[in-house]
Amino acid sequence: MKELAVAIPSSIAETIKRKLKFLDPEIRQFLEIAAVYGQEFMPEIIAMASRRNVGQILDALDELRRLGFIKERTSDVFFFSEDVVRQIVYKSMSKSDLLQYHKLVGEAIENFYQGSLTNYIEQLANHFTIANDSQKALLYSKQAALKAKENYAHTLAIKFFDNALKYEDNIDDIFNIKYSLAEIYLLTGDYKKAIQQLNVCLKINPNAHRVYETLGSVYENMGEYNNSLKRYRQGLKITQGTDAVHTFKTAMAWVYTQLGQYLRAQKECEHILKKKKHVRKRDLSDAYIILGIIHLQLGKYTRAESCLKNGLRIRKSAGDKKRVAACYLDLALNYQELFKMKASETFYKKALTLYEAIGYQHGIVVSLLDLGTLYANFNLQKAEECYLKALSIAKLIGAKRDMVYLYDNLGNINYNRLMSDQTLFNYKQALTFAKKTNFDEGIIFSSIHLSEFYREKGQLKKGKSYLKSAQRVAGKINLRYYNFECLIEELHYALLTKNLKKANILSEKLISQLRAEHNVYYKIYGFIHRARTLGALKRYTKAHTYLKRALHFVKSLPRNWIAGEIYYVRGITYLKARKVREAENMFSQAGDIFKTIGNLRYLDKIEAKRDLLQT
């Protein structure tokens, strides 16, 4: 914890030092105490710290003001004329005086602000740390750290927790500090540091089940699902016969859900629900929520809605506002999958409002991110506003994983506004943060978008290098949606290079895999890309059949991106079949949609195709 470390021109420093040299020793002492306190100060504080009466201090301040060291803001508030003056005064003190004055100032703050001390614990931690008062440095560092953690000021919380560890010798308190640090590192995406802190906790207490729960969450966020399950099973073993056992069962069920092992996850949740009278509300609500997500993934939206609302009811009865808001997000997603966009928007906004009310910054980021993703289908400007607001908060709280999504989504918006430099910057930022946090899924989607960017620029070799990187990571984690994304991008290269045999094989493989798929969005894009391939193969009637099937899902919605893309591909298909009037009609409908959305990239593409119609 350092004070005042800014370079000062030597001429200015020498002038101020000369003035200091001729100051009355006692007046200089008052000035030095003021420099220790801060840029702005009150006479009463200086009086308490120097053990003098306020009248003496005011006389001294008059002299210091006359000499240009300080200025008067009001009758009872003074400040250094320039911060550089304060820095030089501070640096001119001997080490022994510095330690003594920090202690005196700390004690003065304790006395003067004793009725509102929580507003000054950060300053007290700093003062007593520099004064080498280990007992008070520990006390206030812990308080400052917890306050910062509550306010999601993660960098500050880490600073004060680390400082507290220098003085703490109680093993239980060391455990709690280490665990708190791990929670912060989990939130900010510093997973390696989180694991390091949690492993220390386990050395202190090998039977601390909450450590296994948090370790499981860390590995889950890293995409290391086997390691996550291993930690949850360890927690399950040591909590047998206690209420906490269901926490680990729901945690394992959630991992199975992410792995697509829906039947296994469903059995775990249903087993918990059978014992609902003996299960804590938190675990019971989680079981309902996970069942809701499973039904959502399986396309059973009515069942999903019922389960999610049961979970919501329990969370509301428990007064758990943070988890209520999380449930709103899940309901919003369910409605989005049903293409009930107004209902989806309503629940995203309800989650956002609730998170804002309780001051949960990470929840605000996630709500804005999800809301922006909804808007991206209809209005790029509104989507960008959400992403930029979320990014500013994510940077403040250090939420690196969310920053991966946000930079990538902003890259998509820039890309569709033909802002190439900004597109590339944002995609590369997303990839950088994904690599820093070992976020495999982020590496995949940001690499695919970089591949698409370079492919459309005609830089196929560079684009393919990013695709191969995405395929390598997707193969490692083996999550089907990312395998679909890689397959679709590989199909684009085959079509671009006119390798129609390969394109046909890839598109048939895509359709085959999507037969059992319940996610409507992936079905739609499967149909669109099969149609692209069939159009290239001059099988125009079959291509239109697939495009009509895709359009069926979204035709009742307001003007949206997917419909625009379907009309655009239909226009290309008609153009290849030399049906000029039909092609123009499709391009006109696509153009109207993309103009409403603000998608300049597709408007550019449509204009290029219309030029071909003229020839």
Q: Give 21's pLDDT tier (boundaries 50, 70, 90).
A: confident
Residue listed under structure tokens 């895509």: 510
Nearest to 292 by CA among 275, 314, 319, 277: 314
Count the alpha carbons within 13 Å of 407 in the hemisphere toward its beta carbon. Answer: 26
At 5 the pLDDT is 47
Q: How many CB atoms lie within 10 A of CB 284?
A: 24
At 6 the pLDDT is 46
Question: How high is the mean pLDDT of the chain?
Answer: 93
Mean pLDDT of 193-208: 97
CB 128 within 8 A of CB 109: no
Lowest mean pLDDT among 511-515, 576-580, 604-608: 511-515
Q: Identify the bridge partners of residue 41 per DSSP, sorted by sequence position.
A: 78
CA distances from 528 to 120, 341, 448, 485 (A): 61, 22, 18, 13
Rounded to 5 degrees, φ, ψ at 80 are -70, 135
CB 150 within 8 A of CB 183: no
Q: Can you read off the two tokens belonging to residue 243?
A: 């209420």
Nearest to 194 by CA among 212, 208, 214: 214
How many angstroms separate the first and last alpha carbons of the chain?
72
Nearest to 427 by CA among 441, 437, 415, 439: 415
For residues 469, 473, 476, 477, the Cα torsion angle rounded to the nearest 10 degrees is -160
**pLDDT beyond 90 at 125:** yes
At 10 the pLDDT is 58
User: What amino acid is encoded at 200 in this protein?
Assistant: V
> How far apart are the C-alpha atoms of 125 and 145, rounded to whole Å?
10
Lowest mean pLDDT among 159-168, 337-346, 471-480, 585-594: 471-480
| Helix, strand, coil fractions of the chain, as percent rounded to 5 | 80, 0, 20
> How far apart are the C-alpha atoms of 48 and 64, rounded to whole Å?
19
CB 247 within 8 A of CB 213: yes
Lowest mean pLDDT among 258-262, 366-370, 431-435: 258-262
Rounded to 5 degrees, φ, ψ at 384 are -60, -40
Q: What percent of the chain has pLDDT over 70?
A: 98
Q: What is the pTM of this model?
A: 0.81
Alpha-helix residue ranges (DSSP H) falling in 171-280: 171-188, 191-204, 209-221, 225-238, 245-258, 262-274
Residues 6+ apart with CB under 8 A from 236: 245, 248, 249, 252
pLDDT tens, residue by residue, 65-93: 999 999 999 888 999 998 889 999 999 99
Nearest to 125 by CA among 149, 111, 100, 143: 143
> How far apart are the C-alpha atoms of 23 and 67, rounded to whole Å?
10
Q: What percent of the chain has pLDDT over 90?
A: 83
| 393 dihedral zone (left: phi>0; alpha: psi -120 to 50; beta) | alpha
CB 378 within 8 A of CB 348: no
Nearest to 219 by CA among 203, 198, 204: 198
CB 128 within 8 A of CB 163: no
Q: How many CB atoms lie within 10 A of CB 34?
A: 32
**pLDDT beyond 80 at 473:** yes
Rounded to 5 degrees, φ, ψ at 77 are -135, 130
> How far apart are the C-alpha atoms of 161 and 163, rounded to whole Å?
5
Angle, helices 400-415 vs 361-375, to 10°: value is: 20
pLDDT tens, residue by residue, 142-193: 999 999 999 888 999 999 999 999 999 999 999 999 999 999 999 888 899 9
Residue 277 per-residue DSSP state: G
Nearest to 440 by CA among 198, 610, 225: 225
Count the alpha carbons within 13 Å of 463 in the hemisphere toward its beta carbon. Answer: 18
Q: Give 615's pLDDT tier (boundaries 50, 70, 90).
A: low
Q: Which H helix or E strand runs over 74?
A: strand 70-74
pLDDT tens, residue by residue, 238-253: 999 999 999 999 999 9
> How far apart are the C-alpha atoms of 393 and 367, rounded to whole Å?
12
Q: How many CB atoms lie within 10 A of CB 552?
A: 12
> How far apart are the C-alpha atoms of 479 and 223, rounded to whole Å?
10
CB 140 within 8 A of CB 113: no
Residues 6+ apart with CB under 8 A from 536: 495, 498, 500, 503, 576
> How far apart are the C-alpha atoms of 60 and 54, rounded to whole Å?
10
> How far apart are the C-alpha atoms of 308 and 7, rounded to whole Å?
58
pLDDT tens, residue by residue, 23-68: 999 999 999 999 999 999 999 999 999 999 999 999 999 999 999 9
Residue 416 per-residue DSSP state: T
Residue 417 per-residue DSSP state: T
The number of residues making up the chain comes to 615
Nearest to 145 by CA among 131, 116, 169, 124: 124
pLDDT tens, residue by residue, 498-535: 999 999 999 999 999 888 777 888 899 999 999 999 99
